[in-house]
Structure 1
Amino acid sequence: MHDLNRSLDLTELPLDELVACHECDLLMLKPRLSAGERAECPRCGFELFSDRPHMLGRSLALVIAALLLYVPANFLPILHLRLLGQTTQDTVWSAVAALYDSDLQGIAVVVFLCSMGIPLLKLLCQLAVLLSIRWDIGRAYGLLLYRAYHHLREWGMLEVYLMGVLVSIVKLVSLADLALGVGLACFIGLLLVQLWLEVIMSPHQIWEALSRGRSHASH
């Protein structure tokens, strides 16, 4: 862990050698990290960035795992509900379709975007960015896609949808016979993989790799 608390003459340093803390705005010299090291702000302790070993390979593996989980998580049954002799199977997609058929098209569109559309776009952006770094092609497009990914991050709300499912289970368990489906396990797995990906896919390393590719292309 690096201590960045140094006295700097900022007028003599180029901007690309400086970094500002996202929490307290302290301006300091950008450290050079070795594998496994992380840099913290000396004023507030916020983690500025870290250098995670094997970040690219591990991130690619997690993105592919998330994409493989995406289809069963959204299209396999989450719940099997038996009420008054009738059995229904509910999936994420069937919930969107039910809202649309109930003249709640606006809510259906929001649920679709937040639970299915935007999470898929995020994964595809991450995959394209990682492949552009791995294959050293199209890094300028990788920069655009990574910026788009950061704008999409706040709109993918899988955890909110999961909380809604869990609340529904608690309320329905006393009214009907419930059985959890494979889709729920895949949905939870997808959420956990995406959270793990957020930790592994270091923004600092991604920006550095994409910027190096752009600088080489300009020469």
Structure 2
Amino acid sequence: MSDAADAGELSEMPLEALTACHECDLLMLKPELQLGESAHCPRCGFELYMSRPKVVKRSMALVIAALLLYFPANFLPIMELSLLGQNSTDTVWSGVHALYDSGMQGVAVVVFLASMAVPLLKLLCQFLVLLSIQFKFGRSYGLLLYRIYHHMREWGMLEVYLMGTLVSVVKLIGLADITLGVGLACFVSLLLVQVWLEVTMTPHQIWEALSGEDDHARH
């Protein structure tokens, strides 16, 4: 009876006051958190979310760093290959171009989307969302862009491209002279910054900041 009564009470609460566990789907009242505190599901122990200070400013710094790394990561040499007296310099963009010229247009398009286009679009969406929160304008567009960003999250696969590059280096290292380029360092740095950004830019604080409910995200 108590469970049924609790369910009835929750059904009468406004949606803004409720939250659900992503792991076990338990519906519960949304807890009020102070900065640095985290909320866990009472049934399965899954961390629901955490309230981090200065989310917008820290995320903005990481987005700008990622945008600055994006172009050298994709257009500077990843490695230089010397084989039988012939030298070649490879970049992410030259790899896409080589696939397209060799007749594998479909593969080239997929690699271009997953390693170049989608990661850039994700960063631009994040940047514009953070701008709308920081300067309190265009919140409706910010909400739309953040939804678009969440739909694109699974399409950016920089780590897959990096693993492919490392496998190629290991296989070729005994056949040719390989010199790792600045582009590879920028590519690895871009991947690490994006992972850090995913951790820092907590979704629940961004959603609440876009709706004007969370001031801790900016301060």
Fold similarity call, TM over 0.5:
yes
DSSP 3-state at the match of 1:154: coil
After superposition, what is the alpha-carbon deviation per residue over 1:32-60, rounded to whole angstroms, capped at 9, x for unaligned? Answer: 11111111111111111111111110000
Amino acid at match of 2:152: L
Quote the Cα distance in structure 2 between the aligned partners of 1:12 and 1:78. Answer: 58
Contact 1:77-1:182 at 8 Å conserved across structures: yes
Compute the displacement of 1:7 (Å).
8.5
* Mapped pair 1:43 → 2:43: yes
Instruction: Please report how far the alpha carbon of residue 15 of structure 1 lies from its aligned counterpart in structure 2 after TM superposition.
Output: 1.6
- The SS at the match of 1:212 is coil
1:169-196 Cα shifts (integer Å, max 9, x gaps):
0000011000100000000000000000
Residue identity over aligned pairs, in percent, reads: 72
The code of the aligned residue for 1:121 comes to L
Q: Distance in 1 between matches of 2:192 and 2:57?
A: 18
Secondary structure of the corresponding residue to residue 89 of structure 1? strand
Q: Across the two proteins, how many residue pairs are aligned to each other? A: 208
User: Which residue identity is paired with 1:189?
Assistant: S
Paired with 1:207 and 1:149, the residues of 2 have a C-alpha distance of 12
TM-superposition CA deviations, 1:53-80 (whole Å, max 9, x none): 1111000000000000000000000011
> What is the rounded CA distance, in whole Å, between the counterparts of 1:51 and 1:96 in structure 2?
41
Q: What letter corresponds to residue 50 of structure 1 in structure 2?
A: M
- 1:67 maps to amino acid: L
Structure 1 stretch displaced more, 35-44 or 129-138? 35-44
Higher RCO, Cα 8 Å, sep 6+ = 2
Instruction: Give, in whole Å, the separation in 1 of the partners of 2:7 and 2:174.
Output: 65
Q: 1:13 Cα deviation (Å)? A: 1.4
* Aligned position for 2:183: 183
Give the TM-score taking structure 2 as reference length.
0.93
Give yes or no for the alignment of 1:96 onto 2:85.
no
Counterpart in the other structure of 2:198: 198
Against the structure 1 CA distance between its residues 21 and 202, is the aligned structure 2 distance closer, same or farther, given a 3 Å change threshold? same
The residue number in structure 2 matching 1:216 is: none
- Kept after mapping to 2: 8 A contact 1:74/1:183: yes
Cα RMSD (Å) of the superposition?
1.3
Cα distance in 1, alignment partners of residues 8 and 42 from structure 2:
14
Structure 2 Cα separation of the partners of residues 70 and 152 of structure 1: 17
Q: Deviations over 1:116-142 (max 9, x none)?
A: 000000000000000000010000000
- Structure 2 gaps of 5+ residues are 1-5, 214-219
Quick one: which amino acid aligns to residue 175 of structure 2? Answer: L
